[in-house]
Structure 1
């Protein structure tokens, strides 16, 4: 039922807001000083440690006192959890319901919102566990009837009515002037709907009510004490062990597989050395065009990744001296990079090395000729990382590939001129990020454990 937690510092953002919303009218009229707020924060932290150590009664005391100083959803969530751990299911359920009614301020701290959401989910597991007990008394409508459960008075309007009760052994007593005392001990189980009947005997010896104390409602289980038996020992509350609460850093995905396409504008620059030995400007054979690629890789150690990129580009036509030039290229590369925050908005950068081929088709009215070259390219890219969904990522990015087309002999004869090229791509990539970290994937939504 318990969820994992966030850093204690998260709710510090809501301290100022929490002090304006209090749990009672008395607290609303009483301002909270900085010293009291700090003391409440210390009580909360002490309660967290006690709760983790399964010392729930002591933890409940700390959370309750902290909440009496600064009423906050984070305190209320912990109070409900401790009640549930102690078997106080009725009190836990009421606190969960109070948490859902908490008057949120404008722009509430994220820890408050998350505490309310977590309480809503935990309440769903508590509600079906709460048992009910119906207490009937015969004869009915006895004047000045008094019924107690564990020495606590039961309102007369609730006699004969099913009511929530905590699981465990309870002692029920009915008394009235002119009647002998009637008493039963009932062992109430979780999720059960039970009923008992207390038979009052008048001091004149007349017994009222059905023999054997049978109930008239068949949906309840009739519980009657066996003759000559003593009261059953009180059971211990259900064992309620809090699971380990990993730190938020441990819950973040550290390893994932990603794959997706990218589309870009392709901008050629620099020189091109053809197979015929001519040195041409890239602008003489290719205009800006478009590139389409696919990239797949592995993210590791949370922030770093290695990927493989395949990309083809088609450049715009160039018409010059009656000849039409059409250029295209293909790139295969491996890259190593870093993402500053894989779970949200972040900066991204990578370096890589690959192999690029470049080809040009030159055609005129009478002839058509093809030329090609290749190069080892050094890649440099920068961009931004956006989390667009649970597994979808969007990456607007600029990347440049630097290299030299042509062979060493041709380049040597043209050493006076630079024969290097720069092929730019400016575009958008969309990746599917598939988490491979089993612990992070299995972890439930994080639970806030901030101070009040």
Structure 2
């Protein structure tokens, strides 16, 4: 491509025509949802009465009553008396007007006018307060922002032909935080603050793990006892034991060892949980955890005095 061709300016009218033709193709395919943005872009690129008429037609078909009414009213003074689109536009306006939802913005007593107003992210002039705003049926979000930074967000839903009022009032000013320098100094004899609940939570967690481990120890111990019964049935004479009996004996030993280890862990966890719980500042106790030799393995004993 030559530099001269590349330097040629874009033709807004041709671009708008191409967009318009794409929109018309979508209309013929009964797809107004796709046609509307094409017509809007075409109208922004190069305004034309035909584009505006087709845009309003599609908006009315999809129930966008406020948008269609606005564009029909914008088109109306541009049409000549002989234009066949004039009676259609007048008829559609007469049909849409009674169906038009209206939103009224009111100020609470003594409330200043907001510095900024946005309806569905589109800015509104301050003169919108107190007047009826035509809106499309459906859900809307109104944001009001005052000069001091306070802001409110209001959600409102309107059906066809309805009229709703929204009262604008800024939120209350939050109380200023206390000045730390004005806080009274603590007395020397003041009792220490209570211990954090996190310590007790940790105590319950560790204790719970200990209880669960003790439960596991009882289960594995029961399995070991069952293995012992199976061994006596399989090998009445220990000196003459089959291979299956030897496997049962090995399984029983492993279960016994596991029961002892899990039981020791459970005792230690339960003891540690009790120590954490009883040594919180609220508890006036003396505790001691000492090792002990228990049947079937090692463990710990907890001594406490209240």
For the pair shown, the structure with the greater C-alpha radius of gyration is: 2
Higher helix share: 2
Which TM class, normalised by the smaller chain length?
0.3 to 0.5
TM-score, with length taken from structure 2: 0.46
Quick one: higher RCO (CA 8 Å, sep 6+), 1 or 2?
A: 1
